[in-house]
A and B are shown apart, each in its own frame.
Chain A
Amino acid sequence: DAGVIQSPRHEVTEMGQEVTLRCKPISGHNSLFWYRQTMMRGLELLIYFNNNVPIDDSGMPEDRFSAKMPNASFSTLKIQPSEPRDSAVYFCASSSRAMNTEAFFGQGTRLTVV
């Protein structure tokens, strides 16, 4: 398996623009997580899905952030409108929902909002 695949790897956008980050989880995994990493806040869990259903989105910072998982092999994280403080590395991870299994991370998307 190719692992968790995220795209794009890097994104530079202007403030106010819409940004969409994409994630393909490992085949057969039924839990998917979106994290944000910054120097100031470290690694933050934004939202996670089980079997394509959002379970906990309490980490989503504002209404400008939204995430979808239309099927088991694809998820998006959208920011609209983007702001400079959204600049961070965004990670997607997936795991099997069997108890106590580890999560596998993608390479991340480095987002810069100017």
Chain B
Amino acid sequence: GNSVTQMEGPVTLSEEAFLTINCTYTATGYPSLFWYVQYPGEGLQLLLKATKADDKGSNKGFEATYRKETTSFHLEKGSVQVSDSAVYFCALSDPGASKIIFGSGTRLSIRP
């Protein structure tokens, strides 16, 4: 079945460091791919999305490119801030079942 695998956390970086959080997926058909972010005490918010191969989603300095050949959707940011500390979830839509499948989440902590 369809699934999402993302890198284990926690990830701890210094402010202004480069960030990569890896995400790979298994899917039949043509899913959309998403990154969600969860700040402490809050629900999940959509960070960015891509709906077809080679699309790049971007928001708040974060980027991810839909790579069908490597079945990946890695999240990147060139210079992280303390305010980026949160849990990040990679997800895909399951077109056949009309549901969203989430990865296990990666906790990111940024040191000042």
Which positions in A face B, CB cutoff 8 Å? 4, 31, 33, 42-43, 45, 48, 50, 55-56, 91, 93, 95, 97, 99-108
Task: Pick the residue among A43, A56, A102 that contacts B105 (CB under 8 A).
Answer: A43
Return chain A residues, CB-CB under 8 Å to B46: 102, 104
Ordered by A's residue number, 25 sampled pairs between the chains whose C-beta atoms are within 8 Å are A42-B105, A43-B44, A43-B89, A43-B104, A43-B105, A45-B101, A45-B102, A50-B98, A55-B97, A55-B98, A93-B100, A100-B30, A100-B51, A100-B95, A101-B32, A102-B34, A102-B49, A102-B93, A103-B100, A104-B46, A105-B43, A107-B42, A107-B43, A108-B42, A108-B43
Tell whether, in the assembled complex, residue A99 and residue B93 are in contact, meaning their CB atoms are under 8 Å apart: yes
**Which chain B residues in 86-112 approach chain A with CB under 8 Å?**
89, 93, 95, 97-102, 104-105
Tell whether, in the assembled complex, residue B44 and residue A100 are in contact, meaning their CB atoms are under 8 Å apart: no
Known contacts A48-B99, A91-B44, A103-B100; 5 additional CB pairs below 8 A are A33-B99, A55-B99, A56-B97, A93-B44, A95-B100
Mark B12-39 against chain A: 1 for CB-CB distance below 8 A, else 0. Answer: 0000000000000000001110101000
Return chain A residues, CB-CB under 8 Å to B31: 100
- Chain B interface size band reads 20 to 34
With A105-B44, A106-B43 known as contacts, the answer to whether A43 contacts B102 (CB < 8 A) is yes
Q: CA of A108 to CA of B44 in the docked complex: distance in angstroms?
A: 9
Q: CA of A42 to CA of B31 in the docked complex: distance in angstroms?
A: 22
Tell whether, in the assembled complex, residue B97 and residue A100 are in contact, meaning their CB atoms are under 8 Å apart: no
Task: Pick the residue among A31, A42, A43, A105 that contacts B98 (CB under 8 A).
Answer: A31
Q: CA of A93 to CA of B97 in the docked complex: distance in angstroms?
A: 16
B45 at the interface (CB under 8 A from A): yes
Q: CA of A101 to CA of B33 in the docked complex: distance in angstroms?
A: 9
